[in-house]
Amino acid sequence: MDPDKRILVAEDTSMLRKLVVRTLERKGLVSEEFPALEVQNPEEALQIINDQADQIALVITDLRMPDLGDGEKVAKEAIQRGIPVIVMSGTIDDLSEEIATQCAALPEKPFRIEELLAAVHEVLNQNK
């Protein structure tokens, strides 16, 4: 991964979002200098993608965020800008085929954190 780029994590469930970010930190995939970008709704994620696309190495997003919109828009915007996307959700079947085929990984909740880490490593190694 380009050391100047960051990982965007969009997840409405605070506990899961923090678990993902802490795991990325422990594995050295983000640092104090280039911390993960954490957001809890699609609107914030879309704003970051629009403002900082060239600074994002990977987007990890939930598909469904109750009362806050939908992560498919986040995935679509990132893909259109050439940013790899991992969509994590308990309802992967709701993801359009068009977007699903372009995502780097689709871990279905509940997943083991090791599964997500393997997908993150694969994406970041492909984009070196």
Domains and CATH numbers, the chain: 6-126 (3.40.50.2300)
CA–CA separation, 25 and 110 (whole Å): 21
Please tell me the pTM assigned to this model: 0.93
Q: How does residue 77 score in pLDDT terms, banded at 50, 70 and 90?
A: very high
Identify the DSSP state of 63.
S
* φ, ψ at 68 (rounded to 5°): -125, -5
Q: Which residues pair with 69 in a beta bridge?
A: 65
Tens digit of each residue's pLDDT (9 = 90 or more) over 81-118: 999 999 998 877 778 898 899 999 998 888 899 999 99
Tens digit of each residue's pLDDT (9 = 90 or more) over 7-16: 999 999 999 9
